Amino acid sequence: KKSRAMADFFQSQKYRQSMDDHPTLTSSSGPLAEELHCSVCLDVFTDPVSTPCGHNFCKSCLNQCWDNSQDCKCPLCKETFSKRPDLKINTALRQVAQLFQKKSSLSKSEVLCDICDERKKKALKSCLLCQTSYCETHLEFHHKIYLKKHKLLDPVKNMKDYICQKHERPLELFCRDDQTRLCVFCTDGDHKTHNTVPLEEESKEKKTQLMKTQKDMQQMILDRIKKIQDIKYFAELRNKSAERVKAANAGLFSDLMRSIKRCQAELLEMMEEKQKTAEKQDEELIQELQQEITELKMRNTELDHLLHTEDHLQLLQIDPSLCSPPHTRNWPEISMNTDVSVETLRRALTQLQETLDQKLSQTVLRKMQQYAVDVTLDPDTAHPKLILSNDGKQVRHGDIKHELPDYPERFNYSASVLGKEGFLSGRFYFEVQLKGKSQWDLGVARESINRKGKIRVSPQDGFWAVALRNGNEYWACADPCVYLSLRVKPQKVGVFVDYEEGLVTFYDVESRSQIYSFTAQSFTNRLYSYFCPFSDDTGKDSAPMIISPVNYNE
């Protein structure tokens, strides 16, 4: 009811009179003009609608913004709406915009009748031959006298601008060679051989050009709004990823420090055990030596007693064993033996190094996984022999070439397909399951790649990929190609891209080892994920390439 009442008021004579009494309200540069112009097309509102945040736009402009964006944001304040709002035309605002446009148009083009004596009426037409403007009454009189012989046009203020000053005839023609207006007599002089056309024809062509220019400019505005939205979207993703990386790295480095401390404690414990064992062995040896010394001293005392006796009978009756040294252990040369300790230390350090390498590799992989994105295959780019799953997560090579529209973005020779999602900045990561395949290409490609006929997969041609051939030959598709010697056959490969750093890295997810990296690259186009599943001649390699969800616990 309130809106209806407002609309009635805007149509009322009282409101129209108030508009007439305040010329600043109908001025193209007044405060009302700013409020009645759409911030997207920069023109007066057409079917204005309001967003939940309170800003107004043309309905078509707002719909076009949202159709070209991944989410619904206000083009002015960038507030994001979880659900696309149901847009209703603001009828009251439309009435104001229409009245404003009408008043502005009248204020610019109002011409008065030259024949009226007292109160001048608004002119309806101007006659170029008479060089006079006529209101409705006097135009009827003019029409009766001259019928349709005179050239009439919409009212004009500066009549001289439409009359040839040399021949005093209407400027009805246009010289395209000299880009100037002419009358019919001008064509008999300097412009006799020039390309001349009726002024209406040239005006119509100029209007067509202006409409095209306006359309191009509006598209440029929308493109730049889209770029701003992309920049903010990826900045938001980058900030979220940075927070996840910070949180994840805090835990990873804590685990790493605990592992180092645990290995250090185990190493010290091993060394202490070896030290205790060595000390115990030393004590046992000392005890054994002291026992032998005691026995030897007793034997030496006994011998000393016999050597000083004068009793021949006693000497003759001694045990023959006393005449030779007692049986004792053959003691080797005593030295500090460190071989066991050094070897133990070496093994402990090797174990520590392996643990650190494993932890660091795990840290690098998890850091890349923080930039995981949801990749879906784009059916409009797929070669006609490829078979895509309904969810867009799997692709395999088929035997039948399907009849599909030959879109400019579709591969028509190479059995390849791209992801739907493109990236112009930041970092992104995805994983692909390759189990059971003997041939494949995997990586990223720029938007401007050639998709028709034979293609060459290399960075110079817009591809950054690794490939498998003959079941066990791995190659980096560089220029020239680089053979990759891998210890294990990757079953799942992770692809990481840092757009600003010009980095593309491939990782074996299960072994957490790096496969290959393209470094110091220069990206200028939007990048898309690239898949080529291939098929061997026997038809046995029918396993699909599967875009897998990232498992951060692997």
What local confidence, expressed as pLDDT, does residue 297 receive?
Answer: 80
Angle between helices 2-11 and 91-109 (to 10 degrees): 10
Kindly report the backbone phi and psi dihedral angles of residue 122, in degrees, each rounded to the nearest multiple of 5, phi listed first: -70, 135
Of 305 and 529, the one with more pLDDT? 529
Give pLDDT tens digits for 343-369: 655 665 566 556 555 655 667 778 889
User: Is residue 13 pLDDT above 50, yes or no?
Assistant: no
Task: Give me the mean pLDDT over the 328-332 stretch.
Answer: 69
34-106: what fold? Herpes Virus-1 (3.30.40)
User: Is residue 486 pLDDT above 80, yes or no?
Assistant: yes
- Tokens at 111, concatenated: 């011409």
Task: Give me the mean pLDDT over the 207-232 stretch.
Answer: 79
E strand or H helix at 146, and its extent?
Answer: helix 136-146
Reported confidence tier of residue 15, pLDDT bands at 50, 70, 90:
very low
Task: Give me the mean pLDDT over the 458-487 stretch.
Answer: 94
Give pLDDT tens digits for 233-280: 777 877 776 676 666 566 656 766 776 777 777 777 877 887 888 888
Task: Give me the mean pLDDT over the 434-454 stretch.
Answer: 95
Q: Where are the beta strands (DSSP E) in 47-93?
A: 48-50, 56-58, 72-73, 80-81
Is the pTM higher than 0.85? The answer reads no
User: Is residue 126 pLDDT above 80, yes or no?
Assistant: yes
User: Is residue 478 pLDDT above 70, yes or no?
Assistant: yes
- Cα–Cα distance measured from residue 453 to residue 455, given in angstroms and rounded to the nearest whole number: 6
User: Is residue 482 pLDDT above 90, yes or no?
Assistant: yes
- Tokens at 18, concatenated: 């108030």
Residue 516 bridge partners (DSSP):
506
- Cα–Cα distance measured from residue 226 to residue 236, given in angstroms and rounded to the nearest whole number: 15
User: Is residue 7 pLDDT above 80, yes or no?
Assistant: no
Residue indicated by tokens 């990481």: 496
Give pLDDT tens digits for 385-404: 999 999 999 999 988 889 99
DSSP state of 187: G
Gap between the terminal Cα atoms of the chain: 62
Task: Give me the mean pLDDT over the 479-494 stretch.
Answer: 93
Of 261 and 406, the one with more pLDDT? 406
Q: Which of 7-11, 123-127, 146-150, 224-228 has the highest mean pLDDT?
A: 123-127
Give pLDDT tens digits for 85-111: 888 888 888 888 888 877 766 555 578
- Cα–Cα distance measured from residue 421 to residue 102, given in angstroms and rounded to the nearest whole number: 46
Kindly report the backbone phi and psi dihedral angles of residue 444, in degrees, each rounded to the nearest multiple of 5, phi listed first: -135, 160
What local confidence, expressed as pLDDT, does residue 10 receive?
Answer: 41
Handedness of CA 144, 148, 149, 155 (dihedral sign): positive
Taking domain 379-548, whether its CATH number is 2.60.120.920 is answered by yes
At residue 163, the 3 state secondary structure works out as: strand
User: Is residue 522 pLDDT above 80, yes or no?
Assistant: yes
User: Is residue 20 pLDDT above 50, yes or no?
Assistant: no
- Cα–Cα distance measured from residue 133 to residue 540, given in angstroms and rounded to the nearest whole number: 87
Comparing 310-319, 462-471, 537-546, the range with the smallest average pLDDT is 310-319
When the pLDDT of each residue in the chain is averaged and rounded to a whole number, the result is 81
What local confidence, expressed as pLDDT, does residue 99 receive?
Answer: 83
Task: Give me the mean pLDDT over the 374-388 stretch.
Answer: 96
Comparing 63-67, 106-110, 308-312, 408-412, the range with the smallest average pLDDT is 106-110
Handedness of CA 56, 60, 65, 66 (dihedral sign): positive
Contacts of 395-400 with C-beta under 8 Å, sequence gap 24+, read 395/531, 395/533, 395/544, 395/545, 396/533, 396/542, 396/543, 396/544, 396/545, 397/533, 397/534, 397/535, 397/541, 397/542, 399/539
Task: Give me the mean pLDDT over the 4-19 stretch.
Answer: 42
Give pLDDT tens digits for 308-319: 776 666 666 666
Percent of the chain with pLDDT over 70: 78
User: Is residue 536 pLDDT above 70, yes or no?
Assistant: no
- Tokens at 543, concatenated: 């396993």
Burial 354-388 (b: 16+ CB within 10 A, else e): eeeeebebebbbbbbbbbbbebebbeebbbbbbbb
- Tokens at 278, concatenated: 């060595």
In terms of Cα–Cα distance, which of 430, 379, 420 is closest to 526?
Answer: 420
Reported residue count of the chain is 554
